[in-house]
Structure 1
Amino acid sequence: MNKSKLQRELLKAKFSLLKDIKTDQKQKLPQPLIQKSVKEDEEIIILPKVDRNVIVKKDIFDCIMDRSSKRVYTEESLSLEELSFLLWSTQGVKKVVGKVNFATFRTVPSGGARHPFETYLVINRVEGLKKGVYRYLPLEHKIVFLFDKNDMEEEVTEAVSGQKFIASSAVVFIWSCIPYRSEWRYDVAAHKTILQDSGHLCENLYLACEAIGCGTCAIGDYNQEIIDKFLMLDGEEEFVIYAAPVGKVKNE
């Protein structure tokens, strides 16, 4: 019980403590980048403009009612337009505000508009894209190709504790978090907010998938060390916090 009690503290609000803490923002320290930079030699792909014509289920009531975790996918590929819509739905930037890109307003809420996540994509079947691992660039609505591996499906399956259905998906969304983006403003109160924010973006993925005839299943059971190593993350300043495969589903 003591172990559980300790972990429960992460779920409790600590904003009352901030009155006695001089956060990095209050100290006027530079805020972290709101998007990871891209290396000069990395390949960047421009995504199609987000288009509502990809939506096949237009009634929000139906999308909420029909939403469920789906683990069986067809062999059909996603179109680049559909991938564009899903990325915009989960982390799309609507507006940049403040001096020197201070904050972003997006399609999902985030405590203090900190948006501490990076979106990685394990692409299996998307029209116009080669298989491999990509990262979303929300400020430009582009993706950058990172790498490919021959045993990619096996590595991802191992990383999510052997949940084999993930290998049959068209694309796997993997979200990392960079905690300091939130800690810069909220210090010890940041971590509960980060957990809440991850739920916001994954629920948007569920509803967006439902709207375009796809399915997804949120995955919280993964091996932290393996999945961070797969994406070449340091596991401290950036690490995986959530994942969800996406694929076309049969009409029920």
Structure 2
Amino acid sequence: MGRYEKNRDFLKANFEVLDEIKTDAQKKLSKAPLQKEYDENAKLIDLPKPSKDVLVKPNVLECIEDRRSVRKYSEESISLEELSFLLWSTQGVQKLIGNDTASLRTVPSGGASHTFETYLIVNNVQGLTKGIYRYIPIGHKLLFMYEINEMSSKIDKATPRQPFAPNFASKSAVLFVWSTIPYRAEWKFDITAHKKILIDVGHVCQNLYIASEAVKCGTCAIGIYDQKLIDNMLGLDGEDEFVIYLAAVGKV
């Protein structure tokens, strides 16, 4: 049992240690930006405004009751309107607060830290070139990063050891990939930030499950992945920003 103790302790509340720590917030140091900067000349795609018109199953009780992890997808594409709804449901900005230094979103986050960036590996979305994109939540846009050659092979290598349906992720219409920028939470919570980050990413993915059910898409979260490979695929440094969770989405 001894080998479990360290990780079990991590799961426990330890916020009393903050009584002995002066956080960067208390030191009045600058916060991390709400979202990553991007080149003004980058290719940005305006997303349709989220609308209830896209919902096939608007009853939340039915969505929660029917929710399952889905690993088999049809070849039907996802519409841009559906993708817009899924992105808004998982990281949509509803309001900027604190002189635009924080945000209220469709998902909760400890201290409104919202440490996540959303990347998409797009395989079959109407109107979008196959490739890698980043969601720009302030303004609700997509930033096109680059096309990807041998996409299926690279996704398979990045998501190994799937016990129930090997290589299912590469057959999805779009792969949601969430990175975390830990300092957004460390600024306020210091060494206690990291448990909060893991809790928060669960909120995000559960919203994706429920929202996907509402538009008759299937979703499956992915916690087993090749860290270095997926970080490199997205151009992340693996230290100040790194992938923390993935989820495949496709038509059932």
Note whether the superposition's TM-score is higher than 0.5.
yes
* Structure-1 separation of matches of 2:9 and 2:44: 41
1:147 corresponds to: 146
* Structure-2 separation of matches of 1:149 and 1:211: 30
- Structure 2 contact 33–101 (Cα < 8 Å) conserved: no
Q: Secondary structure at the match of 1:217?
A: strand
Q: Secondary structure at the match of 2:38?
A: coil
1:51 corresponds to: 51
2:173 corresponds to: 170
2:225 corresponds to: 222
* Structure-1 separation of matches of 2:7 and 2:42: 40
- In structure 1, list runs of 5 or more residues that go unmatched: none
* Structure-2 separation of matches of 1:14 and 1:27: 21
Task: Summarize the alignment of residues 121-136 of structure 1 with structure 2, pairs less than 5 Å apart.
Answer: 121-136=120-135
Q: TM-score, normalised by structure 1?
A: 0.96
1:207 shift after superposition: 0.2
* Structure-2 separation of matches of 1:153 and 1:133: 13
Corresponding pairs, count: 248
1:35 corresponds to: 35
1:211 corresponds to: 214
> Residues 124-177 of structure 1: CA distance to partner in whole angstroms, max 9, x if unpaired?
111111110000000110010011121122111111115411111110000000
Q: Secondary structure at the match of 2:33?
A: coil
Moved more, 211-220 or 151-160: 151-160
* Structure-1 separation of matches of 2:11 and 2:139: 34
Q: Secondary structure at the match of 2:229?
A: helix
* Structure-1 separation of matches of 2:5 and 2:243: 24
Moved more, 135-144 or 38-47: 38-47
> Residues 184-229 of structure 1: CA distance to partner in whole angstroms, max 9, x if unpaired?
0000110000000000000000000000000000000111111111
> 1:141 corresponds to which letter in structure 2?
H
> 2:84 corresponds to which letter in structure 1?
S
* Structure-1 separation of matches of 2:69 and 2:173: 15
* Structure-2 separation of matches of 1:203 and 1:65: 13
- Structure 2 contact 177–243 (Cα < 8 Å) conserved: yes
2:157 corresponds to: 158
Identical pairs, percent: 55
Q: Secondary structure at the match of 2:126?
A: coil
* Structure-2 separation of matches of 1:239 and 1:2: 29
2:107 corresponds to: 108
1:138 corresponds to: 137
- In structure 2, list runs of 5 or more residues that go unmatched: none
1:41 shift after superposition: 3.2
* Structure-2 separation of matches of 1:82 and 1:210: 11
Q: Secondary structure at the match of 2:222?
A: coil
Quote the RMSD (CA, aligned, Å). Answer: 0.9
Q: TM-score, normalised by structure 2?
A: 0.96
Match of 1:246 among 221, 224, 249: 249
- Structure 1 contact 14–188 (Cα < 8 Å) conserved: no
1:179 corresponds to: 182
2:203 corresponds to: 200
